[in-house]
Chain A
Amino acid sequence: MNKNVSVFSLFIGLLGLATLASGLADILVWAGADPGFSIGILEIAGDDFFRWAWGGAIVAFGGLFMLAGLKNTDDLQQSATVLLGAAMVWIIAGTDIFARFCESVPAGEEAPEFFNSLSGFLAGFAPPYPPAILLLPFTLVVAYVLFTRRFDEAEPPSTADFPNRL
């Protein structure tokens, strides 16, 4: 149990650092007027304030929250802080995926038809991805662990000490 917790803490710690770093990187690429940064399937376009500076700040806060909740992860308040950090990443990843979805359903301005072809639709979801989307699976793991653990704890039926007056 104890060991599990510390492995989990280590995981959150690394994830928090990665998240913080990617949030800061988003902002830096935007501020540095860099034409965009990309390696492999990771890309930080950094072309607009809203997505990269504002959105990057939210990712960075997500990382900070995860780090802040690191100590004592079996404390409820601390778990909630970690979960909140994960949720910040979901905001950015979720809206990014939704934006891709909205852009790939219609065929595009030049095409004569209204709806995109299936392959065109799927191509809209092809890499490269921004860091938030790449972090998404890891944050989901964190949420999964936190939720299942809470359920374990709530198991002893609390109706026993519940004064039945009705």
Chain B
Amino acid sequence: MKEQSNNTTTILMVGNPNVGKSALFNRLTGANAVVSNYPGTTVDYTAGTLIEDHRTYEIIDVPGTYSLKPRDAAEMVAVRMLDEHRDATVLVVLDATKIERGLYLALEVFERGIPCIVALNMTDAAHDKQIAVDAAGLQRILGVPVIATTAISGEGVKHLADMIRKAQAADISAIRSRLNGQEQNRRSMAGCGGCSGCGGCR
């Protein structure tokens, strides 16, 4: 499974439980993963393919987890998938209505130095709850693409698929320095033009 042709990239969907990973996965791949409104719906992984712009991605939906220190067998599956697919790209899915816990997991993933892209899901629910998350600002701070999505209506999913190729590893110390107000490296990132300021397009 892992040794596929060179132009297939494996994408692991990682995020807290019940943030809409499976719903997003279904949207991206047209697959039929079970989506329910309770944490712990997905307890095993499911793979599907996405062909975007002549590239083939193998997308893997994994069980939700709160951190990379697994507490139960379902979370163990998620962490195991990360360990098994060292060369994979990670699609971190955040719930815009409670982004803190999602960011905790995101930081843990970033620390592994894996190429990442962030989907800020449930933007409709956040809007209803009067919570505004600045996706562009988040992208600037994290230095990886952040795309706002609404998995149940499909909003932003096309954009997300399009941006997967721009995934890149985040640098924790750069994140820290940007948070400390040292925004000098921001200018160099804006040079890309196409995608509102993520770091180096390769």
- Is any CB of A less than 8 Å from a CB of B in the complex? yes
Chain B residues, Cβ within 8 Å of A158: 130
Interface size on B, residues (CB 8 A): 6
Q: Which of A162, A165, A166 contacts B130 (CB 8 A)?
A: A162
CA distance A166 to B134 in the complex (A): 5
Q: A162, A164, A166 — which one has the most chain B CB atoms within 10 A of its CB?
A: A166
Chain A residues, Cβ within 8 Å of B130: 158, 162
Say yes or no for B201: interface residue by CB 8 A criterion.
no
Say yes or no for B135: interface residue by CB 8 A criterion.
yes
Chain B residues, Cβ within 8 Å of A166: 132, 134-136
Q: Mark B134-147, 1 if CB is under 8 A from A, else 0.
A: 11110000000000
Helix, strand, loop or mixed for chain A's interface? loop
Interface size on A, residues (CB 8 A): 6
CA distance A6 to B133 in the complex (A): 43
Which residues of chain A (146-166) have a CB below 8 Å from chain B? Answer: 158, 162-166
Chain A residues, Cβ within 8 Å of B134: 165-166
Chain B residues, Cβ within 8 Å of A163: 132
Which residues of chain B (82-122) have a CB below 8 Å from chain A? Answer: none
Q: Which of B132, B136, B137 contacts A162 (CB 8 A)?
A: B132
Which residues of chain B (130-173) have a CB below 8 Å from chain A? Answer: 130, 132, 134-137
- Least distance between B10 CB and chain A CB atoms (Å): 32
CA distance A165 to B134 in the complex (A): 6
- Least distance between B4 CB and chain A CB atoms (Å): 39
Give the residue name and chain of the A residue nearest to B137 (CB): A165
Q: Mark A98-116, 1 if CB is under 8 A from B, else 0.
A: 0000000000000000000
CA distance A158 to B131 in the complex (A): 12
CA distance A21 to B130 in the complex (A): 43
Chain B residues, Cβ within 8 Å of A165: 132, 134, 137
Give the residue name and chain of the B residue nearest to A163 (CB): B132
Chain B residues, Cβ within 8 Å of A162: 130, 132
CA distance A30 to B132 in the complex (A): 56
Chain B residues, Cβ within 8 Å of A164: 132
Q: Mark A6-38, 1 if CB is under 8 A from B, else 0.
A: 000000000000000000000000000000000
12 contacts between A and B (CB under 8 A): A158-B130, A162-B130, A162-B132, A163-B132, A164-B132, A165-B132, A165-B134, A165-B137, A166-B132, A166-B134, A166-B135, A166-B136
Q: Which residues of B contact A (CB under 8 A)?
A: 130, 132, 134-137
State the 4 A-B residue pairs at the shortest beta-carbon distance, nearest first.
Answer: A165-B134, A165-B132, A162-B130, A166-B134
